[in-house]
Structure 1
Amino acid sequence: MKKQLLLLGGGHAHMVTLANLSTFLNKGYGVTVVQPSDYHYYSGMGPGMLGGSYAPEDIRFATRKLVETCGGRFVLGKAFRIDPDRQVVLLEGSDEVLPYDVLSCNVGSSVPRDLLRGETENVFTAKPIEQLLVAQQRILDCTADRTITVAIIGSGPSSLEIAGNIHQLCRKQAVNMPVIRIFCGRDFLSGRPDRVRTLARKLLKRKGVDIVQEGYVQQIDNHRIVLENGHEYAADILFHAVGVKPPPIFTRSGLSIGPDGGLRVNACLQSVDQDNIFGGGDCIYFEAEPLDKVGVYAVRQNPILYRNLLAALEGGPLERFQPGGRYLLIYNLGEGEGIFSKGMITFCGKLAFFLKDWIDRRFIRTFQVSA
């Protein structure tokens, strides 16, 4: 029986591998890709889709079509557990097991939901990206006949971009502008350069976005936010954007993990205790140098992961991944404005968004096939 390559997820770190599936197939290897959707959405453009700058088809990759066009097998489903002894992956809600000789994991990350209580119909998270479309329609429906309050819980860039793009969405399409409020604990954009934090506050203030720094949120339900100091705030729609964590699949599988629950990998992006399991992106813990949960590392891992998967199937030598130096960050604040930051260079305005839009669209075009 021919060797089997199994890919969990079609995310950023698997883009080069997916683009070169024919290489594996032409060498006689079987290829199976598992993903819970026919499409993979580019998270860097998600807030822009929420704000109406992009349509869904502008920011997604047609994973199923790409795989099946090349002659591989696409499985619509979600991996639940890896059994490294049997070399199979078990799927959530299915009796089917998928065998592998070499396995690569790019299953992304999700927003923890431990603060949520009771009804959560009007609570949305930054991931999965598809949910932002549901949130967009809910906002427009609710603002059709009254002024509502939209609350965003989180202190990081996701909160910043969501707030700015909700403002853009409502300014262009809503009948009534909502009250937009960010609950950031005690420190907004902690760990970001001071200049970035100053510019972000300035832009949000100009848009009328409130920033609440009374303390951390202790509980969230459908229309209520409870802070650690006991104060309560009402909200009609809530966005939970408190950071991301790898899914629990690696813990369930008994594989070595990092402190965040991500698959612990060595310098070759290879599991530290299973030499035929690899991974990339947000779902791994890079043992040599813990990495920020930013897409740039997944993109940098792309070619190394592709070559190492091929080498693992062929019994060749593996390459080491070098994370590289400083990376560029550009935040989309809506209404054609952004904040640019790299090293000592920081500025905001139309040019920042223009650069982000150009970079993002170029990345999409490189790997996108028609839906």
Structure 2
Amino acid sequence: MGELVLAGAGHAHMLLMEAIPDIIADGHRVTVIGPDDCHYYSGMGPGMLGGSYYPDEISFPVKSMVESRGGDFVLGKVVRIDPHKRLVILEAGQEIPYDVLSCNLGSFVPSGLMGEDCTDVYTVKPIQNLFQARIRIQEISSERPVRIGICGGGPAALEVAGNAWAAAKEQSCLGAKVQIFTGSTFLRKFPDSVRNLALKNLTKRGIEIVQGSYVERVATGGITLQNKQHYEQDIIFMALGVKPSKVFAASDMLIGKDGGLMVNSYLQSISHPEIFGGGDCIWFEPKPLDKVGVYAVRQNPVLVHNVRAQLEGNSLNEFNPGGSYLLIFNTGGGKGILQKYGLSFGGAPAFWIKDYIDNKFIERFNKNVSAPSIPDIL
């Protein structure tokens, strides 16, 4: 009998968790470690902030998914891996042994700019933060216009700005004053067509972009830029990009430039072949990948095959990241921006397409459908 451990119960492990009965039938034991009984789908997080979804509509009941299939679920936070003793060490001190390990430990938003004991400051991960922020926005906007600042200049900043605006507008006609703080060009990595659609959307809502100086410090009630200008805020979001889990930097294994687990074309640790990984927590050595959920989804079937093959001593399959992927931003209020193959458009149709794809993904796993059904459009 082999001991398979899944560290993390996120997007890249969905098909592995579904395959637990087959892995057990092969004579192995499966243990899944997760920080919560549920896993929130990050692609629908901004929609939860804006009021398009409730928390239970964008989450997977991973504990029950695992246990109903015969696996063991351990509630805990992974802090380190000992690849020599083949142990996963949890924050509470528990040690979980493995023969084969797959890691889907996600990413985090750096908080180095935040002062200690900040209140009403929310990082965009974990996703649950966005629902807490929604509640607070609506509390304040019921009494007066709420001032909302977003630190960042990428897709997360765009989606949070639009949905925070929608949350305030939904609660009260007093609405919100929303500002995005980006030191460089807003959405600088995206085509002009996408950027122009985003700017049009933001301008129509009165959302301001503050450029020219990076954020130096965030504290309760305000944002200070490197040029020493200060902006008072009621709610602040940290959307400055994400970094891979710190677990691998704390463990004796090869990591990439960003601190992620360095894996080869088989999604296999270069230094420890019995360890695999997917999603935001890896550094894909053949070609660095964007931190977008589509790659975690595409990695699912390869992880299933390779983890099972490693347990059985069979050959592995290579992961092909694929070409262009569909990109849709949820800009709040039932609107979105879509881009693929040079085609870009905004408005309600873009949101409808995203909503359809996201709900299909949620439904596919919550209903325990047995056959893989990853949308081809991705």
- The one of 338, 341, 352 aligned to 2:339: 341
Counterpart position of 1:59: 58
The residue correspondences of 1:174-323 to structure 2 (distance < 5 A) are 174=172, 176-323=174-321
The residue correspondences of 1:44-55 to structure 2 (distance < 5 A) are 44-55=43-54
Counterpart position of 1:17: 16
| Identity level (%) | 49
Amino acid aligned to 1:189: L
Counterpart of 1:252 in 2: which secondary structure?
A: coil
Instruction: State the shift of 1:184 in Å.
Output: 1.2
Instruction: State the shift of 1:28 in Å.
Output: 1.5
The residue correspondences of 1:92-171 to structure 2 (distance < 5 A) are 92=91, 94-171=92-169
- Could you give the per-residue CA deviations for residues 200-254 of structure 1, whole angstroms, max 9, x where no partner exists? 0000000111110031101111112111111111111100000000111001112
Q: Does structure 2 conserve the Cα–Cα contact (< 8 Å) formed by 1:308 and 1:318?
A: yes
Q: Does structure 2 conserve the Cα–Cα contact (< 8 Å) formed by 1:153 and 1:241?
A: yes
TM-score (norm 2): 0.96
Instruction: State the shift of 1:120 in Å.
Output: 1.3
Of the structure 1 ranges 222-231 and 274-283, higher mean CA displacement relative to structure 2 is found in 222-231
Counterpart of 1:139 in 2: which secondary structure?
A: helix
TM-score (norm 1): 0.97
Counterpart of 2:243 in 1: which secondary structure?
A: coil
Q: Does structure 1 conserve the Cα–Cα contact (< 8 Å) formed by 2:142 and 2:171?
A: no
**Residue 76 in structure 1 maps to residue 70 in structure 2:** no
Counterpart position of 2:373: none
- Could you give the per-residue CA deviations for residues 120-178 of structure 1, whole angstroms, max 9, x where no partner exists? 11100111011111111111111221222110000000110111111211222236212
Counterpart of 2:88 in 1: which secondary structure?
A: strand
- Could you give the per-residue CA deviations for residues 305-360 of structure 1, whole angstroms, max 9, x where no partner exists? 00000000000000000000001100111121110101210011111111110111
Amino acid aligned to 2:80: R
Counterpart position of 1:359: 357
Amino acid aligned to 1:306: V
Counterpart position of 1:327: 325
Q: Does structure 2 conserve the Cα–Cα contact (< 8 Å) formed by 1:145 and 1:175?
A: no
Instruction: State the shift of 1:118 in Å.
Output: 3.0
Q: Does structure 2 conserve the Cα–Cα contact (< 8 Å) formed by 1:102 and 1:276?
A: yes
Instruction: Work out the CA distance in 2 between the residues paired with 1:71 and 1:25.
Output: 8
Of the structure 1 ranges 299-308 and 164-173, higher mean CA displacement relative to structure 2 is found in 164-173
Q: Does structure 1 conserve the Cα–Cα contact (< 8 Å) formed by 2:169 and 2:176?
A: no
Instruction: Work out the CA distance in 2 between the residues paired with 1:21 and 1:243.
Output: 33
Counterpart of 1:248 in 2: which secondary structure?
A: coil
